[in-house]
Amino acid sequence: MFKKTKLKNGLRVVAVPMKNAQSVTVLVLVGTGSKYETKDINGISHFLEHMFFKGTKKRPTTLKISETLDMIGGQYNAFTSKETTGFWAKVDRKHTDVALDWISDMFLNAKFEAQEIDREKGVVIGELNMYLDTPTSYVSELFEDLLYKDQPAGWRVIGEVSNIQSYTREKMVEYYKTHYSNENTVIAIAGDIDVAKMSQKMEKYFGKSKNQDALPKLAVKEFQNKPEVLLHHKKTDQTHFCLGVRAYDMFDPRRHALTLMSVILGGNMSSRLFISVRERNGLGYYVHTSVDTTTDTGYLVTQSGVKNDSLQKAVGLVLDEYRSLRDKKISPKELKKAKDYIRGSMALSLDATDAQASFYANQEVMGKELLTPEEKIKLIDKVTISDIKKVAEDIFKNERLNLSVIGPFEEAQKEKLLKILRI
């Protein structure tokens, strides 16, 4: 299903053939992000991601960068998370070489010009303000602020205004030299490709990449001995909240049971919390539960937007379902439904070449065993009812509970919320 190779310079390549696919996706994924930063440069990983699109010697301007793929109807973008930074291009398969030339040029030959850095500061500050003005996004960041506080895992990926304004070309180049390495970079290519010829193509386009040592990240420190609440006062027409618990990292074998639990709780429109919070009580439009896992942290969280006068009731309903999972075994029917949901949703999501490239690149850059979708499903299928109850008993405890809230509330409301955070 895939072929993994290593170039002469140490760059890893994962080629994923998809017979009859009309598109090809090239993804360059680097193992660095905001968790690799120090306080004074928090946000620089994200800012640097922007700067790769500002010009190379071959394509000296943003216009020249963007029109290369625009002229062939290609799609392209980049992203930064706490542990990865990625750059991708998706094109008609007949333009595979155009995509390879474009992304390798941008990735290896970016100029990081001082005037472009100064110009981009306003753009990134605008992006930050957009997130701060969007409660559905911001409340998730507040939840991680609550969990990890003043350490890299608790800082915003995008950074703060004061940091953004302080960036210079020297800082950009220094971060690039100390965090971008052949050793922490993976190239994934997925589509109707000739796998046998791909190593040669990759040597042509990426073989000149110079290797350099990449700095490691600091380990996350976690400590909590009681429920915690973070309130953000904002005049809103509805209240947004995240209620969740600390859980497991991406290498913990219990993560599969955790994933199934999240589906049962709030993974779809027939999940327990969707029925309870929305359908039976009509408290709000959306409610969902998800799992976040990184190399050294993890959590399960339920997010919802509800009527301003219904926050306590909604929090109580979520806690009821957490408690129920902890105290009672789920039914065989419910377990089967959750497994079938994951199997089906994974099949649908991996139809696209960009999804396939991301699926394999993320595993490889994180140092995980490279599994096919079928092998991942087998691990999910092994989870038992008892496994889920054991995980629920482990994570659903008072001292693991965290609640972040955005809404028209004063600080006095915090004590009322702390009183009901009992499971």
What local confidence, expressed as pLDDT, does residue 408 receive?
96
Distance CA 185, CA 190 (A): 17
CB atoms under 10 Å from CB of 248, counted, come to: 21
Closest to 302 measured CA to CA, from 403, 417, 156: 403
The model's confidence at residue 36, banded by pLDDT at 50, 70 and 90, is: very high
Residue in 154, 169, 210, 235 with CA at minimum distance from that of residue 8: 210
pLDDT of residue 210: 79
Residues 243-284 have pLDDT tens digits of 999 999 999 999 999 999 999 999 999 999 999 999 999 999
352-380 mean pLDDT: 96
Using CA atoms, how far residue 7 sits from 105, 187, 299, 339, 362, in Å, is: 17, 10, 36, 38, 19
| Mean confidence (pLDDT) of the chain | 97
pLDDT of the residue at 211: 81
Condensed to tens digits (0 to 9), the pLDDT of residues 292-320 reads 999 999 999 999 999 999 999 999 999 99
- Positions marked catalytic: 49
Closest by CA to 218, choosing from 418, 395, 42, 91, is 42
Taking residues 14-24, report their average pLDDT.
96
Alpha-helical regions (H) of 12-95: 44-51, 62-70
Length, in residues, of the chain: 423
| Domains with residue ranges and CATH for the chain | 3-206 (3.30.830.10), 228-420 (3.30.830.10)
**pLDDT score of 25:** 98
pLDDT of residue 411: 87
pLDDT category, 199, cuts 50, 70, 90?
confident
In the predicted structure, residue 45 carries a pLDDT above the cut 90: yes
Cα separations in angstroms, 81 against 35, 64, 327, 362: 9, 27, 35, 12
pLDDT band at residue 43 under the 50/70/90 scheme = very high
Q: So what's the pLDDT on residue 345?
A: 97
Strand (E) or helix (H) holding 229: strand 228-233
List of residues 6+ apart from 299 with CB closer than 8 A: 147, 244, 245, 246, 247, 291, 292, 402
Mean pLDDT of 148-153: 97
